[in-house]
Structure 1
Amino acid sequence: MLHSPARVVPAVVSAANLGVAPVSYRISSSDLGGHLFTVALTVVSPDPDGQSFALPAWIPGSYMIREFARHIVRLRAESGGKKISFKKTDKHTWQAAPCAGPLTVHYEVYAWDLSVRAAHLDRSHGFFNSSSVFLRVLGQEQQLHEVDIVRPGDAACAGWRVATALPERNAKRYGFGTYAASGYDELIDHPVEMGEFVLSTFTAHGVPHDIVISGRTPNLDLPRLAQDLKKICEAQIAFFEPRSKRAPMQRYVFMTFVVGNGYGGLEHRASTALICARSDLPVIGKAEMTDGYRTYLGLCSHEYFHTWNVKRIKPAAFAPYDLQNENYTSLLWLFEGFTSYYDDLFLLRSGVIDISAYLSLLGKTVNGVLRGSGRKKQSVAESSFDTWGKYYRQDENAPNAIVSYYTKGSLIALALDLTLRAETGGRSSLDSVMQVLWQRYGREFYSPAGGRGLGENEIEALIEEVSGCRMKRFFDRYVRGTEDLPLDSLLAQVGIAYSDTRKIAVPGLGVRLSNDHGESRVASVYEGGAGHRAGLSADDRLVALDGLRIPGSGPDGLLERYRPGDSVTLHVFRRDELLELRVRLRADDAPQVKLSLAEKPPAAANIFLR
């Protein structure tokens, strides 16, 4: 439930005391080998003119039309034991013939998307986001929704449990049975994991938080993970509610599916679904902070921060969501970018990493932004608006055409934070802005009184109000414009040295490579680099440089024997044709920014801790 000064209790908490739900689902793992969920949807009082149903075309938090309805295999409807005809009105909408009700729709969903966005089912586990498996009953979205999750009959599933933040209605926690949601919007904001998983629970300012790890994880140091996540969660709760330390949920679930090599996360109002590499998780007896574990904690921190920023503080375009069409906003640089700034920052503030590790992470972000020329062609406001067609549909030319509202958005947050602190003598900061956003837009969003989303043009005025600083020039240059942020000077003011240590004497091809089964494949060609000038293209397979074989890891070792300006012969396969290219090597001008504390930093260097 939403903790607020008014102590509002949502209707879903009392769902167990209600009678038959107006909308109910029964989901079964009907064919593990065939990856099929079977769903029975019952509507007690269907529209007398013919009830319509639709499956969302996308899932909030992942801004691309995915057309989940394409995974529905077959569908039939009945009422009172009689078959009810229906017709499909568009690619994700069906309408049943008029009937008195109750109306039950039976359908199968193919679930073989091993990601955090849709559904996946086999003999090892089951996972689903409700937006990809549960039809929306049009016109009845605000009614109580009930979900009966059925235990699979297969003997291989005898030890399976259920993990979800959905409130139990007729089920024990972690058990199969009936769960409830106050409406469709809440229903699709609670993913479900089924299987044999490792479970741990900690409390953060009085709220239970579950850690659910699915997949083989030998020697997992679960106590360490719980200890680190507790620190991060408590720091974030106290950040938004420094006095009461009230979390905006009554329970939270971190659910992670472990694979050999993978990474991803999707936020929800009381949980997050994550995918990570097995090597990213901590191991018993190994106390060092590995890069992989730090990355995993940063992912958890990112999705947890979204509990406030985007799940409750929302752009107006998402309040409410239009689940069948694109929802355009120019503010994702704020909702994703600011979250990307605070995710690693809270690793530092919680004490999970130190300042040196934090500056190293920050330096990697700076290098990533400066590497692509797309930052000079597209603003973060444009990138946010274009996410449906560009950011989530990146191709080989993406570094030369677009800018990430995640990474440059995080640097805008950093620059804004430093600017506000400097111009107000430390009286105001980005922290102040986030807390006001929470108080005005987020705290009451899910209360009966409701809330509203942040308008497209409101954030600039709000920052000016909170800080007393004029923001137009900043927004014109860095948010609506494409200028690089003056991070070197801003960081210098707080005792952090900014140096670019690029190896200007070492030549490079100016391409991004991937090791594709032992072959060095060109993933992207950077505009203006040696490869671009010589005619290299994405998907070219590098074979040899001056007659010497190029390994899957790339030609860097060979290039160390050359100088900028030297010409080399490069043999590549393009499709099935062998090409010979003459390449004039250029200095590797990829940015290599390094951030470090000055020898005698002023006290302001500790701003990241406050």
Structure 2
Amino acid sequence: MIDYTVELPSPEAHLYQVSIHIPDPEPHGVTFSLPAWIRGSYMIRDFSRHIIIIDAEDSTGPLAIKKLDKQTWRCEPASGDLTIRYQVYAWDLSVRGAHMDTTHAYFNGAALFLAVHGKQQEPLTLTINRPAGERYESWRVAAAMRSQGADEQGFGCYLLQNYEELIDQPVEIGVHDAFDFAVAGKPHRFVVAGRHSADLNRLKSDLTRICSQQVALFGELPLNDYLFLLSVVGEGYGGLEHQNSTSLLASRKDLPGRYETEPSKNYRRLLGLCSHEYFHLWNVKRITPAVFLENDTSAEVHTRQMWVFEGITSYYDDLMLLKSGCIKRKDYFELLAETVTRVMRGRGRLKQTLEESSFDAWTKFYKQDENAPNAIVSYYAKGALFALLLDLRMRLESDGASSLDHVMQVMWHRYGKPGIGVPERGFEQVAMEVTGLDLAPLFELGLRTTQELPLQESLAAFGVQMRLRPASGPEDNGGVVTDEQVADAKPRSVLGARIKGQDAGEQVVQVYEGGAAMAAGIAAGDLIVAVDGLRVRQGEIEKRIAVLPPGEAVPVHAFRRDELMQFELVPQVAPADTCEFYLPEAIPPAQQARRDAWLRSL
């Protein structure tokens, strides 16, 4: 059995020492490589660039290693057991890579462990050794692996069924806060790494309810235990799903305060992240595209179905917060309004379909640049809106007999539970089979055209009024209004660009197609220093532009690299791209019944 060993010899230098002991290696030599990407994060990661040194030896001494490509090596034939040793530089503070300093150590298995070719399907062990030194005596290991003699602090040996399981394991090592809870009789553990003053009892109660709602949807929990790993930082956000765990990164302000009576917007964001990654336990990790099962992680694997796995999950993540009782209906529609606004503010929605966005995840979505809003649409955000549209249409046209819930349940039993990959357009076939409805025109419109989704019409049948209006300011991302508040906003002028404040002025981050900035020739990277002959200070430009008369040119001075340039800016009226919902209380009984059935607890 192959044994992987991880040492932490030098946390201050951010280095892991990994060794692989291979008994009875192949007589003609051994080939080994790192994955090119992580399932759940569709971008070539080039983990091999972090390997500092690598060598090999057998009972006779050192052996020669030849590098075959950027992530693959080959060792000459060995006499007896073979040991490969290498150092990995770990300074990637994200959920995808590896990080280590004197406060903690974290790694995602894919970033650390070489695959021994021909041995990937065999059982193996992983030994994690305790770092030397007094300062590390209180460190503990948090992981979702099966112990094979690890001590009470988690250091020691673990058993894994194959290499795929090994690289699907996030591991956090250090001093943690943690709590346990049960869902469907199965133990769950939540580990918090990093300084915080959160109300963990509140988080525990809310997570128990959210996870229970998801189990109720699918009807079963296909694991023995589950682990949440959360790294708390000053600013950060992200998550990555695993087979029986998830790795999360969140800002300190996103955790629940000890004296909060209602969930803040920041805390709702954290709950949504937890909900999203937990839903992936079914939708992605088990209900997964056929092409993912047919191919490994050595090269890109393309599918036009990413909207199914990320978009539908993004629809349910916030919906489960409502169904679990963690947020109120007004909160849910505020979150939904933000999603609609995010999609409507990108001209890419008029150029890229959901299927194209899914297929191009490797080259566009995960490699966004300053032109991204003008060129692409998110299969997360627009996928969530299309999932909403599907759910509403199914409920309406079947008179409540069918819903997206029923489709996901059949997807689980047909594909996820037996471990069968979903073929391209497989979801569409199941949806029409389960509901008995002709949804082909809706799939064509939503997935293979860039036409706007008819959300207003569908939501109206559920007693929800939706409209688009100009934003009242740069922080306005939409929301929910009362009857008295439904009124047109005052027109305001806008620059047509996203700005990041700098001490010396305002940095242009993105320029929106069709906006005033692009028409004037202003480009991403320009540092605006003056408007209409007056200096612009950090945080001022949006207010300065807002009061200018639309259509009247004003001079704008900016530095492009080290060159001072002048532009004639003609401010434009803010476009109607901000979503607003109104939830009238007095609606027809049929609409009220539909709305309640859609939003109530499972």
TM-score range, shorter chain: over 0.9
Q: TM-score, normalised by structure 1?
A: 0.93
**Residues of 2 paired with 1:516 and 1:302: CA distance?**
34
Separation in 2 of the partners of 1:421 and 1:69? 49
Selected match of 2:155 from 163, 176, 201:
176
Partner in structure 1 of residue 44 of structure 2 = 65
Is the contact made by 1:236 and 1:346 (CA closer than 8 Å) also made in structure 2?
yes
1:66-113 deviation per Cα after TM superposition (whole angstroms, max 9, x unaligned): 111111111111112522222111111111111243211011011110
CA distance in 2 between partners of 1:180 and 1:434 (Å): 33
SS of residue in 1 equivalent to 2:94 = coil
Q: Report the equivalent of 1:447.
A: none
Structure 2: distance between partners of 1:182 and 1:492: 51
Q: Distance in 1 between matches of 2:60 and 2:414?
A: 51
SS of the residue 1:358 aligns to: helix
- Would the aligned equivalents of 2:495 and 2:542 in 1 still touch at CA under 8 Å? no
Work out which of the residue numbers 562, 569, 594 in structure 2 matches 1:576.
Answer: 562
SS in 2 for 1:562: coil
Q: Which amino acid in the other structure matches residue 526 of structure 1?
A: Y
Amino acid at match of 2:310: E
Q: Identify which of 466, 470, 489 aligns with 1:498.
A: 466
Deviations 1:41-67 (A, max 9, x none): 011121221111011111111100011
> Of 4, 8, 12, which residue of structure 2 is paired with 1:33?
12
Cα-Cα RMSD: 1.3
Q: Residue 266 of structure 1: which of 212, 218, 240 is its match?
A: 240
Q: TM-score, normalised by structure 2?
A: 0.94
Shift of 1:499: 1.9
578, 589, 606: which one pairs with 2:575?
589
Show CA shifts across 1:404-425 (max 9, x none): 0000000000000001111111
Taking structure 1 as reference, are residues 172 and 203 closer, same or farther at Cα in structure 2, changes over 3 Å only? farther
Inter-CA distance 359–35: structure 2 relative to 1 (3 Å threshold)? same
The 1:437/1:173 distance shift into structure 2, 3 A limit, reads: farther
The answer to whether the 8 A contact 1:505-1:563 is kept is no
Read off the aligned partner of 2:43 and give its amino acid letter: M
Selected match of 1:479 from 447, 460, 465? 447
Counterpart residue number, 1:348? 322
Superposed CA offset, 1:288-342 (max 9, x none): 3111111011000000000000000000111144211001111001100000000
Distance in 2 separating the partners of 1:440 and 1:93: 37
Identity among equivalent pairs (%): 46
- The Cα offsets for residues 140-163 of structure 1, whole Å up to 9 and x where unpaired, read as 111111100011003221210000
Alpha-carbon offset, residue 553 of structure 1: 2.0
Tell me which of 264, 274, 279 is aligned to 1:290.
Answer: 264
1: CA distance, partners of 2:537 / 2:264: 27
**What letter corresponds to residue 529 of structure 1 in structure 2?**
G
Residue 222 in structure 1 maps to residue 196 in structure 2: no
Kept after mapping to 1: 8 A contact 2:94/2:249: yes
- Which of 578, 594, 602 aligns to 1:604? It is 594
Structure 2 Cα separation of the partners of residues 472 and 285 of structure 1: 50
The Cα shift of 1:463 comes to 0.9
**Which residue matches 1:11?**
none
In the alignment, the residues of structure 2 paired with residue 50 and residue 43 of structure 1 have an alpha-carbon distance, to the nearest angstrom, of: 12
Q: Distance in 2 between matches of 1:589 and 1:227?
A: 42
Q: Are the counterparts in 2 of residues 504 and 589 from structure 1 also a CA contact under 8 Å? A: no
Deviates more, 1:565-574 or 1:409-418: 565-574
CA distance in 1, matches of 2:256, 2:533: 44
Q: 1:214 Cα shift?
A: 0.6
Letter in 1 for 2:599: F
Determine the structure 2 residue equivalent to 1:395: 369
- What amino acid is the match of 2:34? L
> Which residue does the alignment assign to 1:103?
82
Aligned partners of 2:364 and 2:376 also within 8 Å: yes
- What is the CA–CA distance in structure 1 between the aligned matches of 2:5 and 2:503, rounded to whole Å? 43
Q: Which among 540, 551, 554 is matched to residue 537 of structure 2?
A: 551
Structure 1 residue aligned with 2:299: 325
How far did 1:556 drift? 2.1
Q: CA deviation at 1:521?
A: 1.3
Note closer, same or farther for the CA distance 1:98–1:530 as it changes in structure 2 (3 Å cut).
same
Q: Is residue 220 of structure 2 the alignment partner of residue 275 of structure 1?
A: no
After alignment, is 502-511 or 257-266 more displaced? 502-511
**Cα separation, 1, equivalents of 2:540 and 2:518:** 17
* Cα distance change of structure 1 residues 485 and 168 upon mapping to structure 2, 3 Å threshold: same
Post-superposition CA distance 1:488-517 (Å, at most 9, x none): 010000000102232461010111112345
State the Cα deviation string for residues 100-151 of structure 1 (Å, max 9, x = none).
4321101101111011001001101000011111100111111111100011
SS in 2 for 1:275: strand
Counterparts of 1:521 and 1:551, CA distance in 2: 11
Which segments of 5 or more consecutive residues in structure 2 lack a partner in the other structure? 471-488
- 1:360-371 mapped onto 2 (5 Å cutoff): 360-371=334-345
Query: For 1:174 and 1:442, how far apart are their aligned partners in 2?
Result: 34
- Distance in structure 2 (CA, Å) of the matches to 1:98 and 1:554: 67
Q: Contact conserved, 1:464 with 1:471, CA < 8 A, in 2?
A: yes
Structure 2 matches for 1:318-467, cutoff 5 A? Answer: 318-444=292-418, 451-467=419-435
SS state at 2:148 partner: strand
C-alpha contact (below 8 Å) 1:356/1:596 kept by paired residues: no
CA distance in structure 2 between the partners assigned to 1:598 and 1:288 by the alignment: 23
Q: CA deviation at 1:173?
A: 5.6
CA distance in 1, matches of 2:277, 2:402: 26
Cα displacement (A) at 1:31: 1.3
**Paired residue for 2:438, among 424, 447, 470?**
470
Name the residue aligned to 1:7. Answer: none
Matched, 1:132 2:111: yes
One of 562, 565, 573 as aligned partner of 2:548: 562
**Is 1:339–1:410's contact at 8 Å kept on the other side of the alignment?**
yes
Change (3 A) 1:463 1:194: same
CA distance in 2 between counterparts of 1:320 and 1:306 reads 20
Q: 2:507 is matched with which residue: 499, 510, 521?
A: 521
1:232 aligns to 2:210 (yes or no): yes
SS in 2 for 1:353: coil
Partner of 2:217, secondary structure, is helix
Q: Name the structure 2 match of 1:3.
A: none
Structure 1: how far apart are the matches of 2:455 and 2:230? 35
The aligned residue for residue 201 of structure 1 is: 180
Deviation at 1:466, TM superposition (A): 0.5
Q: Is the 8 A contact 2:493 2:547 kept in 1?
A: no
User: Residue by residue, what CA displacement relative to the aligned partner does 1:430-461 show, whole Å, maximum 9, x if unpaired?
Assistant: 111100000111113xxxxxx22100122211
CA gap 1:174/1:328 in 2 versus in 1, 3 angstroms: farther
Q: How many Å separate the matches in 2 of 1:281 and 1:353? A: 15
Q: Which amino acid aligns with 1:492?
A: A
Q: Distance in 2 between matches of 1:320 and 1:190?
A: 21
**Preserved contact between residue 500 and residue 507 of structure 2 (Cα < 8 Å):** yes
Shift of residue 519 of structure 1? 3.7
Residue in structure 1 matching 2:517, options 527, 531, 540: 531
**Contact 2:226–2:244 (Cα < 8 Å) also in 1:** yes
**Structure 2 CA distance for partners of 1:205 and 1:172, relative to 1, 3 Å:** farther
Q: How many residues align?
A: 578
Equivalent residue letter for 1:70: R
